[in-house]
Amino acid sequence: MAGRFETLANLAIVAVCVAVGTQVVITGVRSAQSAQSAPTPPKREVYKPGERMTPLTPIDFARADQTLLLVVRDGCQFCENNMAFYRDLASALKGNETAVQLVAVTPTAPQTTHAYLGRYGVEIPLVSQSTFDQLKISGTPTLILTNRDGIVSNVWVGQLSDSRQAEVLRALHTSARARS
């Protein structure tokens, strides 16, 4: 009797192992099939230096030697992490709009963006509403620096480290030195 019970227990264990193993294989095959059939989102082409930007309302690139587009959106943690830099930048550029025009660009309504930036003390009078496709970007924050003809000179994507913040400032100062 004990031998018969042992044999039945062993058969039950083998049956459970086969059932679990089969389920694991089926799940793996389905995952692989769905991963292969899932469409890959198209990679957006980011503006490159030397490329002309698509016109954006109400931005007049010819109004200043350079235009710095600050692309942000509410809820973006990386944007919020750089708000102190954006506040200092906006403050430093205030009153010198013929040299560098700072424009906030966002997918939301300008009033919403003014309120969002205002929560962090960032004062940027000109806000443009635009889609990521129009801007050729895939996320925020993104800074795009252009000349007065709307030709891109630099693009910075993502949260800016101290060294990348310094790079932005050098790009702006290079223009100021060229005018003097």
Q: Give how far Cα 9 sits from Cα of 3, 6, 14, 23, Å.
A: 10, 5, 9, 21
Confidence of residue 168 (pLDDT cuts 50, 70, 90): very high
Number of H helices, E strands in the chain: 6, 5
φ/ψ (deg, to 5) at 61: -60, -30
The vertex-64 CA angle with 154 and 101, nearest 5°, equals 65
Report pLDDT digits (tens) over 20-75: 555 655 665 555 554 444 444 455 567 889 999 988 888 999 999 999 999 999 99
Peptide bond into 49 cis (omega under 30): no
Q: Indicate yes or no: pTM above 0.75.
A: no
CATH number of this structure's domain 61-179: 3.40.30.10
Report pLDDT digits (tens) over 82-95: 999 999 999 999 88
Report pLDDT digits (tens) over 125-144: 999 999 988 888 888 999 99
- Please check the confidence at residue 158 and state whether its pLDDT lies above 90: yes
Q: Where are the domains of the chain?
A: 1-38, 61-179
